[in-house]
Amino acid sequence: MREEKDPLGTVRVPAEAYYGAQTARAAANLPIGGPRMPRDLVRAVARIKRAAAVVNGELGLLAPEISRAIAEAAAEVLAGRFDDQFVLGVFQTGSGTSTHMNANEVIAGRANEILTGRRGGKHPVHPNDHVNLGQSSNDVIPSAIHIAALEAIRGRLLPSLARLGEALARKSAEFASVRKIGRTHLQDAVPMTLGEEFSGYARQVELAGERLRALEPRLGELALGGTAVGTGVNAHPEFAPRTIAVIARETGIAFRRAENAFEAQAARDAAVEAAGVLRTIAVSLGKIADDLRWLASGPRCGLGEIRLPELQPGSSIMPGKVNPVVPEAVLQVTAQVVGCDAAIAWAGRGGNFELNTMMPVIAHNLLQAIALLADASEVFAARCVEGIAADRETCERMIERSLALATFLVPALGYDRAAAMARAAWESGRTVREVLRAERLLSEEEIDRLLP
């Protein structure tokens, strides 16, 4: 179905639309630009609606044919069949009610078509009385945020990080014998191996996975069953635990009812925590990406200790120039994820008393951050890390030229005399080894024993 819009972006309801009057009014009165509500959030809402229809049928609250029609329609939304019917943007009512009603109307409209052959409408399936039975935007949207986030973390981000971590670990093993100079403060430090350097990167990514998995107990709590303010008004006492059990079984994630419904609806602390972890991961990836840019700098007038895969011409004016494309793309992703975290932190305190009223922007930024980090990790591994090669000759030459080799002389000469050797090497343009030989402070055997 193609949507028609006037110059302000207002959606006009086509005759074949599944959504109804409430969605149309919301679209007409919110002609604000920007992205639509995330597909993953719509998918999570549909998952809730499907499970709710099944449970409400089992509880005898819905007629069997209505329960089945709603469940079938929700499954189709879950599969993406009606993505074009979700017309609302992120910047809407702070509870996400606009998108929630959009889902209720699409599901009801499709359920009516299943039962009667006529799409849309409120009979025999009503969007509020039947699709929304035992629910409220105020408990569905917070639950959908948690479901969507955990599904995206498990299904996309963790596997992508695992691939990146494995690629870095393989490079650590491959470079285990490549000696190079270490650096602190961007200055020469003592020698190490390139493999040791890459082992640090691999551990950063491994810890990223641990941090994400540690979020599951909080993101696994669902507000479902609290309805309007957490009291559970109009919800059957068995509705929430049974519906959440269906969702947990279908997703393979240990979702459970929130220990305190009032906290689960009034605050978005778990999302704020998750955003902080995503920011930490972004900072980790940014550190790795920036290091690789420096290590590959040159190729002749920089460090040049590693070579990155050549992906595309690096300049429209300088022939033969090749840029570190993927690390720079990753660095831009990290900037965006840090921005997402800032938006979520601001939105996390947005609301009063029993409801946060900035949930759409939280959902958008949280799911965007997860998706960006997943894609960046996958590309980083496949298009960069897996193709890195070491320049052993450059690495060895850097070690021999380093003034930091004077560190190894301290046990034999003391700090001050070792520092004098380093100063003499720097001023004369010689290596520390050459100065030692010229000064004859140590025998050739002692020099070879002390210096790497």
Over the chain, what HEC string results? Answer: CCCEECCCCCEECCCCCCCCHHHHHHHHHCCCCCCECCHHHHHHHHHHHHHHHHHHHHCCCCCHHHHHHHHHHHHHHHCCCCHHHCCCECCCCCCCHHHHHHHHHHHHHHHHHHHHCCCCCCCCCCHHHHHCCCCCHHHHHHHHHHHHHHHHHHHHHHHHHHHHHHHHHHHHHHCCCCEEEEEECCEEEEEEEHHHHHHHHHHHHHHHHHHHHCCHHHHCEECCCCCCCCCCCCCCCCHHHHHHHHHHHHHCCCCEECCCHHHHHHCCHHHHHHHHHHHHHHHHHHHHHHHHHHHCCCCCCCCCCEECCCCCECCCCCCCCECCHHHHHHHHHHHHHHHHHHHHHHHHCCEECCEECCHHHHHHHHHHHHHHHHHHHHHHHHHCHHHCEECHHHHHHHHHHCHHHHHHHHHHHCHHHHHHHHHHHHHHCCCHHHHHHHHCCCCHHHHHHHCC
pLDDT at position 360 is 98
pLDDT category of residue 78 using cuts at 50, 70 and 90 = very high
Rounded Cα distance between 62 and 70, Å, is 10
Round the average pLDDT of the chain to a whole number and report it. 95
pLDDT at position 11 is 53
Nearest to 232, CA basis, from 222, 220, 240, 242: 240
pLDDT at position 14 is 58
pLDDT at position 15 is 55
**End-to-end distance of the chain based on CA atoms, in angstroms?**
71
Residue 326: is it exposed, middle or buried by C-beta count within 10 angstroms (0-12/13-18/19+)?
Answer: buried
pLDDT at position 313 is 87
pLDDT over threshold 50, residue 403: yes
Residue with tokens 């969507």: 148
pLDDT over threshold 60, residue 449: yes
Task: Give the CA distances from residue 265 to residues 233, 235, 322, 355, 357, in Å, rounded to whole numbers and listed in that order.
Answer: 14, 15, 51, 6, 10
pLDDT over threshold 60, residue 353: yes
Residue 449: CB atoms within 10 Å = 11
Rounded Cα distance between 375 and 90, Å, is 22
185 is catalytic: yes
pLDDT at position 3 is 47
pLDDT tens per residue, range 91-137? 999 999 999 999 999 999 999 999 999 999 999 999 999 999 999 99
pLDDT category of residue 9 using cuts at 50, 70 and 90 = very low
Task: Give the tokens for residue 328.
Answer: 């720079």
67 is catalytic: no
Rounded Cα distance between 183 and 180, Å, is 10
Q: Could you tell me the domains of the chain?
A: 4-133 (1.10.275.10), 149-228+256-392 (1.20.200.10), 402-450 (1.10.40)
Annotated active-site residue in 177, 315, 428, 443:
315
pLDDT category of residue 315 using cuts at 50, 70 and 90 = confident
pLDDT at position 8 is 38
Among 78-87, 200-209, 309-318, 339-348, the minimum mean pLDDT is found in: 309-318
**CB-based contact 421:406 (threshold 8 Å):** yes
pLDDT category of residue 314 using cuts at 50, 70 and 90 = confident
Percentage above 90 pLDDT, the chain: 92
Among 214-223, 309-318, 366-375, the minimum mean pLDDT is found in: 309-318
pLDDT at position 12 is 56
For residue 57, the number of C-alpha atoms closer than 13 Å in the C-beta half-sphere is 17
What's the whole-number mean pLDDT along residues 189-198? 97
